[in-house]
Amino acid sequence: MATAAQTTTPHRRCQHIDYLLHLADNALVLGQRNAEWCGHGPVLEEDIALANMSLDLIGQARLLYQHTAALMSDGATEAVIEDALAYFRDAGEFRNYTLLELPHHGALAPGSATGRDYAVTIVRNFLYSALMVLLWDALQASSDAQLAAIAAKSLKEAHYHLRHSRDWLVRLGDGTVESHARAQAALNHLMPYVQEFWTSSAMETAAAQSAIGVAAATLHPAWDAIVHDALVEATLERPAAAGYTPHGKTGLHSEHLSYLLGEMQGLARQHPEATW
């Protein structure tokens, strides 16, 4: 019996792979960013919480890379492995949202030796996880059975990520004068980047047409409702999502991704034949 990868056109198969890479790259890059707090969390409990969420995201990425590698290896003369997709692609080949590669730097973090602002981390995790609880839920009905199974597992984790980030968003926004100011500044900084969620790309259009994926724009009203309710409770003002729309999911990234990948991929590239 022919596999799904064999019965689709080469173009459609390529879009399918790009869509899976988009999902995997999102998880890997945010997982790497959140892991930067390991040993530097504001309190021990949060240090552990962010490390656990990073492991969740990297676990999602691994499942998606494994599935992608299997599709790419089907009919190929040489097998593709998951590590090659994570460690041996350059920045322009990554398909993650630009939002996820940005550093934790905030405009209101004086006195921080690292420049990290926890409010930036919390706001980004909230904006992204609010999308992913909707997207993973919808992807449980994917015509790609393996992706549907990954979505079912990932949805449980995304619910926890949303609950954690929302709780902290409210705590910061409705807290002290300084915590409110930092949370508002982080929201003002990051909100324009979410415009990329709702812009269509060839891979997403093809994935939605084949019922493999979901057109994220259809999730916009539900995402708006989640964000609105949280911001009201946090006493934060929603800034306008205006300005330049980033295109990370089509391979056009900020300068920050290459630095992140340099740190993440350095060991693997120095010892490409190493086994563990």
Number of domains in the chain: 1
CATH of the domain at 264: 1.20.1260.10
Residue 1, domain member (yes or no): no
Question: Does the structure show a pLDDT above 50 at 5?
Answer: no
pLDDT > 90: percent of the chain: 76
- pLDDT, position 190: 96
Residue 73, domain member (yes or no): yes
CA of 82: how far to CAs of 51, 64, 148, 231, in Å? 22, 9, 19, 38
Q: What is the pLDDT of residues 23-58, one digit of tens each?
A: 999 999 999 999 998 888 788 888 899 999 999 999
Residue 3, domain member (yes or no): no
Residue 4, domain member (yes or no): no
Residue 2, domain member (yes or no): no
Q: The pTM is what?
A: 0.91
Reference 15, options 25, 5, 26; nearest CA is: 5
Q: Residue 157, exposed/middle/buried by CB under 10 A (0-12, 13-18, 19+)?
A: buried
Angle formed by the axes of helices 44-73 and 145-173, to 10°? 160
Q: What is the pLDDT of residues 208-259, one digit of tens each?
A: 999 999 999 999 999 999 999 999 999 999 998 777 899 999 999 999 999 9
Residue 153, domain member (yes or no): yes
Residue 242, domain member (yes or no): yes
Q: What is the pLDDT of residues 172-182, one digit of tens each?
A: 999 999 999 99
Reference 275, options 81, 77, 89; nearest CA is: 81
CA of 114: how far to CAs of 50, 102, 105, 216, in Å? 17, 14, 8, 34
Residue 276, domain member (yes or no): no
Q: Give buried/exposed letters for 233-253 (b at 16+ CB in 10 A, else e).
A: ebebeeeeeeeeebebbbeeb
Per the structure, the complete domain to which residue 221 belongs is given by 9-270
